[in-house]
C-alpha cells in the first residue's frame, strides 16, 4: 500500500465523527450545544416605562451604537441603539440608573436592510418646554426622577427651602434658571449657609 494512502487513512480515522456543533436553538436542552448558554449577552432590550432619557447609556457606549436625538418642534427625545454597531459589551446595562436596560438571549441580528426597524432599539420620551424661552430641555421623567432622588438625600435642615426654590424655577430650562437665580433668590450657596458648619 502506498504511503500516501496510509497517511490519508490515518488522518480520516481521527476525523470520522462530525466536527460541527449544533446550532444554539434551545430546542433540546439535553444536547450540550443546543441550549443558549447562561449569561449570554444578546441584543439589548429597554423597558420604556423605566427609561428616563438621562443619556447615561449613550455616554458609555463603546461602539457609539447609542444615540440621542432631540426633536425641538415636537418636544420629543429619541433614545436609539443601532444594533449593527453594538458590541454587546453591557456597559449601558451597568450604567443605567433605573435598570431600564437588560441583555436578552436574542443573538440573531442579521437583516436584509440597514433601514429595517428590527435593527434599532428605540424609545421616545416627552421633553419639557421652557416657560420663558420656549426651548426644550430635559425629559419630564428625568426631571421627576432627579427630584425624587434629591429629596431622599438632601439635608433635612434645607429641604423645605430647596423644594420651595425648585417650585419657583421648575418650568425653566437650565439657562433660564441661571438667569433668574438672582431674581428668584434660588442660588445654591444659601443652602450651604443654612446648613451651617
Helix axes 140-153, 159-169, angle to 10 degrees: 160
Model pLDDT for residues 12-40, shown as the tens digit of each residue: 777 656 656 666 665 566 666 666 777 88
Cβ-contact 119, 111 below 8 angstroms: yes
Distances in Å between the Cα of 150 and the Cα atoms of 85, 147, 191 are 35, 5, 13
Q: Answer yes or no: is pLDDT of 161 > 90.
A: no
Q: Answer yes or no: is pLDDT of 193 > 60.
A: no
Spatial neighbors of 43 by CB under 8 A, at least 6 apart, are 83, 86, 88, 103, 104, 106, 107, 109, 121
Per-chain mean pLDDT for the chain:
84
What is the rounded distance in angstroms from the CA atom of residue 25 to the CA atom of residue 34? Answer: 5
Contacts 24+ apart (CB under 8 A), 154-159: 155/191, 155/195, 157/194, 157/195, 157/196, 158/191, 158/194, 158/195
| Rg of the chain in Å (alpha carbons) | 27
Q: Which numeric CATH code is attached to 44-127?
A: 3.30.70.3270
Nearest CA to 65 out of 121, 117, 109, 106 is that of 121
pLDDT value, residue 169:
85
Q: Please give the average per-residue pLDDT across 143-157, as a whole number.
A: 84
**Segments making up each domain of the chain, as ranges:** 44-127
Model pLDDT for residues 76-116, shown as the tens digit of each residue: 999 999 999 999 999 999 999 999 999 998 888 888 888 89
Q: Please give the average per-residue pLDDT across 68-73, as a whole number.
A: 94
Amino acid at each position: 500500500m502506498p504511503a500516501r494512502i496510509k497517511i490519508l487513512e490515518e488522518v480520516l480515522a481521527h476525523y470520522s465523527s462530525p466536527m460541527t456543533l449544533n446550532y444554539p436553538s434551545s430546542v433540546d436542552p439535553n444536547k450540550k450545544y443546543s441550549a443558549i448558554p447562561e449569561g449570554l449577552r444578546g441584543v439589548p432590550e429597554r423597558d420604556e416605562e423605566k427609561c428616563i432619557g438621562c443619556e447615561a447609556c449613550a455616554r458609555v457606549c463603546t461602539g457609539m451604537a447609542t444615540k440621542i436625538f432631540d426633536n425641538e418642534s415636537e418636544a420629543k427625545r429619541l433614545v436609539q441603539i443601532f444594533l449593527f454597531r453594538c458590541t454587546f459589551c453591557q456597559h449601558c446595562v451597568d450604567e443605567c440608573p433605573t435598570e431600564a436596560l437588560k441583555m436578552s438571549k436574542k443573538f440573531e441580528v442579521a437583516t436584509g436592510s440597514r433601514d429595517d426597524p428590527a435593527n434599532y432599539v428605540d424609545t421616545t420620551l416627552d421633553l419639557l418646554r421652557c416657560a420663558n424661552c420656549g426651548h426644550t430641555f430635559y425629559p419630564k421623567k428625568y426631571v421627576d426622577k432627579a427630584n425624587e432622588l434629591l429629596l431622599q438625600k438632601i439635608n433635612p435642615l434645607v429641604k423645605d427651602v430647596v423644594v420651595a426654590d425648585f417650585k419657583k424655577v421648575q418650568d425653566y430650562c437650565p439657562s433660564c434658571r441661571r438667569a433668574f437665580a438672582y431674581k428668584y433668590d434660588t442660588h445654591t450657596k444659601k443652602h450651604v449657609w443654612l446648613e451651617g458648619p
